[in-house]
């Protein structure tokens, strides 16, 4: 790429700043991450050799509360990506009115190449390296790409060992038996479903007449696909990192999900009880899936899937970003010109951090909620903020992404200005 991910992400901030009235001090603060840490993590491998892994943790802003953000394990992790993800988390937390700032972490590796024992040593080594940088009141970790509740449990346990006390609130998305919250493992997909269902009703899109393609059939993508399927929507295409499948008549998502869990790949099946039949389908690449003629496109994989090079080929009417940053700023302009409604990541995929907040609250209070209560609270917050973004977009006649940033910036600006501004000191 000609410019960094963070530079590209910052363009969204610039566009929204035209519509808000906040101090120059606040604007200056929002353009730079507060603190970044890069560490080397030595790991003894199963064969006795020693490997050094590169890890990062970035706290972009903590004006509204402690940093909050996941840790991803991926070969493409670098400091620019982690800073960009922390930037998005800052605005996501403000948009959902959570008492958190934005943070993110990651380690550069292919986790599929490591054994479980090696992954555990790596995860604990990461905490050894950043323990002084995190904490329940400083910076709170969570799962992200290729990390899960078990890895979060290892991280929390290692932090407890270092601190010589039990601190469950330092990590969210951990196992229920270690203080995790019900509903956290499916929160991103569940929250996205609430937004999608609520927003599509504004266009009088009836579920049975709405076709949907989902790029990325991982934790979030598979959950939102299954919920949409159960609500009566027609899911015609899904994909994972190996490729995808398309069936014009629609796919049986629960059976595909079971097949992937058992066989680690995607196949178009229809299951009745324990008997499964292969459904007539067409193999598609991830790129081809993006270009399908569908009503709704859900990018739920990684960043920069839709760029200036392929944006003109997108045929969907509505895009809901379940992944972080799947559309570049240049592609945004093209999609807007085509009249495509793009519901941004900082709104659509905020269910994960919202239920992480619920988990953090439960850890600190010692009171734990039922799944129905978690989901009721999640739905109320997601739909409420989605409605506010919708109103702002219509009021200023701007894209939904810009409206989301306007809403978030206003909250961040108020918090930043409360610490004192240039005008305050001049008047003093």
Catalytic residues: 104
Tokens coding 307: 């760029």
- Measured between alpha carbons, how far is residue 407 from residues 125, 313, 382, 396, 403 in Å? 39, 30, 14, 12, 6
Q: How far apart are CA 45 and CA 84, in angstroms?
A: 31
Tokens coding 355: 């239920």
Q: Cβ neighbours of residue 47 under 8 Å, at least 6 residues apart?
A: none
DSSP string, 125-185: HHHHHHGGG-BTTTEEEEE-TT--HHHHHHHHHHHHHHHTS--GGGBSS--GGGTPPTTST
**187-219: b (≥16 Cβ within 10 Å) or e:** bbbbbbbbbbbbbbeeeebebeebbbbbbbbbb
Measuring CA to CA, which residue among 53, 58, 67 is closest to residue 6?
A: 58
Phi, psi angle pair for 261, to nearest 5° = -60, -35
- Measured between alpha carbons, how far is residue 181 from residues 21, 155, 374 in Å? 38, 16, 8
Phi, psi angle pair for 296, to nearest 5° = -125, 130
Report whether 212 contacts 298 (CB < 8 A): yes
Q: How far apart are CA 249 and CA 114, in angstroms?
A: 40
Measuring CA to CA, which residue among 349, 117, 381 is closest to residue 219?
A: 349
Tokens coding 22: 């906040």
């Amino acid at each position: 790429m000609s410019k960094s991910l963070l530079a590209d992400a910052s363009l969204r901030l610039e566009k929204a700043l035209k519509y808000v009235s906040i101090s120059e001090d606040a604007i200056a603060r929002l353009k730079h991450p507060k603190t970044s840490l890069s560490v080397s993590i030595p790991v003894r491998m199963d064969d006795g050799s020693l490997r050094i892994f590169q890890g990062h943790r970035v706290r972009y802003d903590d004006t509204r509360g402690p940093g909050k953000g996941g840790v991803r394990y991926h070969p493409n992790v670098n400091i620019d990506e982690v800073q960009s993800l922390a930037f998005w988390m800052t605005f996501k937390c403000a948009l959902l009115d959570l008492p958190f700032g934005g943070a993110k972490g990651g380690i550069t590796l292919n986790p599929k190449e490591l054994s479980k024992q090696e992954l555990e040593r790596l995860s604990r080594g990461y905490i050894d390296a950043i323990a002084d940088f995190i904490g329940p009141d400083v910076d709170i970790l969570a799962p992200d790409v290729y990390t899960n509740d078990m890895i979060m449990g290892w991280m929390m346990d290692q932090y407890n060992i270092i601190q010589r006390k039990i601190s469950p609130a330092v990590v969210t998305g951990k196992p229920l038996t270690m203080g995790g919250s019900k509903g956290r493992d499916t929160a991103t997909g569940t929250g996205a479903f609430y937004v999608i269902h609520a927003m599509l009703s504004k266009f009088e899109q009836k579920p049975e007449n709405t076709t949907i393609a989902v790029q990325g059939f991982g934790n979030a993508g598979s959950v939102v696909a299954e919920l949409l399927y159960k609500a009566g929507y027609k899911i015609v295409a899904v994909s994972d990192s190996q490729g995808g499948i398309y069936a014009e008549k629609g796919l049986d998502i629960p059976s595909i999900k079971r097949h992937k869990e058992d066989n680690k790949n995607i196949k178009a099946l229809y299951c009745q009880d324990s008997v499964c039949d292969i459904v007539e389908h067409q193999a598609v690449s991830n790129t081809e899936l993006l270009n399908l003629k569908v009503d709704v496109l859900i990018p739920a994989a990684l960043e920069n899937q839709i760029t200036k090079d392929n944006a003109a080929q997108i045929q969907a009417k509505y895009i809901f970003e379940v992944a972080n940053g799947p559309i570049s700023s240049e592609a945004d302009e093209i999609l807007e010109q085509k009249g495509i409604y793009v519901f941004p990541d900082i709104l659509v995929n905020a269910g994960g951090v919202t239920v992480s907040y619920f988990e953090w609250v439960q850890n600190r209070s010692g009171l734990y909620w039922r799944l129905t209560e978690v989901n009721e609270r999640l739905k109320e917050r997601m739909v409420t903020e989605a409605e506010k973004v919708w109103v702002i977009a219509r009021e200023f006649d701007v894209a939904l992404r810009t409206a989301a940033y306007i809403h978030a910036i206003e909250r961040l600006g108020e918090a930043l200005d409360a610490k004192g501004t240039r005008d305050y000191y001049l008047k003093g």
